Amino acid sequence: MSFYPIFCITLLFFSAVEPAYLGEPCHPLVPDLHCVTGGNMHCALQQDGFSYRCECNYHHNSNLAGTYCHGTYGAGCVEFKALDCNAHRRMSCFLEPVFIGTCYCSNPSTLMYREDIDSCVARAGRSCHMNATTPFGLSCVPNSDCDDAAGTEVPNCKCRPGYDPDVEGRCVRSGGLHGAQCDNSDTCDYDVHHLICLEGTCQCGSGYVPNSFGKCVRVYGAKCSEVDPCDTANYIGCSSTSGHPGVCTCEEVEHQIYEESIRACRTKARKYYGGAPCVANAARQSINGTCECDPGFIATHEGRCRPVEFPELGDPCEADGPTCIADTWSECTADANNATSCQCPPDRSSDQPGHRCYLRYGQRCVDVAGRYCNTDRQLECDLFVNLCRCFNQFNTIYDAGRDACFVLTGGKCTNGDTEFDQRCVDNASCQGSNGCRCDAGFVETEDRRCTPASTSLPDYDSFH
């Protein structure tokens, strides 16, 4: 008995199916059963072990219709994707500085994020409205109500009796803040706020620290629960499971590390910026959104940035002396005159301004230390094939002569400080919002490069 007819019928059925939306069946190996493009979702294997459905990506949730996914508070976003941040929950993409950004409340001075409903709400004293036809309306911070009493021209959030607004626009119990004046510990209310009265002021008790809003929260490494939270303002979360106490740790352990000196979690060097600021001596790259060490510093294996030590890339070295710094991935190499120095091996190129060696275009890569592509030359690891490719393969092209990727005409560009910072192809310049455009005396070719205007182009009609 042949199975070929059944297989053909199955393919014909699949080819007629539209791309899947959120919650609909999909399959990663069938092209016409993929999740809708640009919907911030992926095809996920279900608990039964064989079926697949479209689910929201990490740090994303569904829209009102339940068809697409939007980025939630703190999620990464890009300039050109309207779906990235959840506008229905009053979030917008704040670019840092261009192209790549983070989802935050659309108006931080009047709104703040409320985690229990995953939406931005109005601060105390700010305008609000509760529209029954809009599921999220514009509600208020906890322990407050939208005051639309008769005679109120613009309703605003008003703290309930027994609560007062703090400096950040939250509503807290009177006297329930670190530093508030007190006569005795009953005034501070230790059972509720974990405060004790010392020398006339309310201060956090043992095992607690004041967060930036004056509330007492559990310290890093302490036990925690839903009613005894950690310092989420500093990206420290409770690792507890339902019904069981947990421990305060970084919210994203794989991407963050705890900094004891500032009692906060920070994004590790060489890791994607998910909301927490970068570790000390590092800054966020605008192209791929990772935290990179400042000039003069180098990433350690644990994700911090330490000063570069001798011998670094380009420094003299000796085969029987101190080796080149391990995490520069350089080698002690002899030149034609037998002089030895730390140089990049053939499969790697230096970053800007020459601190470490990263994989060249076309090299095998994985997202672990030591196997990174050279982002300073506009490369990233294409995880579908595990090869170093240009960041945006539609708008950039690899130039083997300069060993870097450059922006084609019409593509977005920036004229940065480094040699390869989103620069245009030869004979083209960055024209701001117009992207790369051919210089005077040059014309654009079909492959989006620039050639001298006097050069005779082939007569394509002659091929018909």
CA–CA separation, 40 and 59 (whole Å): 10
What average pLDDT does this structure show over 95-116?
Answer: 79
What average pLDDT does this structure show over 370-379?
Answer: 80
Which of 430, 391, 432, 437 has its CA nearest to residue 100? 391
Q: What is the 3-state secondary structure (H, E, C) of 98-162?
A: CCEEEEEECCCCCEEEEHHHCEEEECCCCECECCCCCCCCECECCCEEEECCCCCCCCEEEECCC
CA–CA separation, 329 and 343 (whole Å): 9
Contact in structure between 26 and 33 (CB atoms under 8 Å): yes
pLDDT score of 291: 86
Contact in structure between 111 and 124 (CB atoms under 8 Å): no
Q: Six-digit token pair at 172?
A: 């807290």
- pLDDT of residue 199 exceeding 80: yes
- pLDDT of residue 321 exceeding 70: no
What average pLDDT does this structure show over 381-403?
Answer: 86
The pLDDT tens digits for 238-297 are 886 555 668 999 988 888 999 988 888 999 988 876 678 889 999 877 666 788 888 777
| Phi, psi for residue 461 in degrees, rounded to 5 | -65, -25
What b/e readout covers 254-291, taking b as 16+ CB neighbours within 10 angstroms?
Answer: ebbbbbeeeebbbbbbbbbbbbbbbbbbbebbbbbbbb
Contact in structure between 163 and 171 (CB atoms under 8 Å): yes
The pLDDT tens digits for 440-457 are 999 999 899 999 987 545
Under the banding of pLDDT at 50, 70 and 90, the label for residue 11 is: very low
Average pLDDT along the chain: 77
Per-domain boundaries in the chain: 4-105, 310-391, 395-457
Contact in structure between 449 and 443 (CB atoms under 8 Å): no
pLDDT score of 40: 81
pLDDT score of 97: 58
Task: Give the residue, 29 or 80, on which the prediction is more confident.
Answer: 29
Q: pTM for this structure?
A: 0.39
Name the percent of the chain lying above pLDDT 90.
8
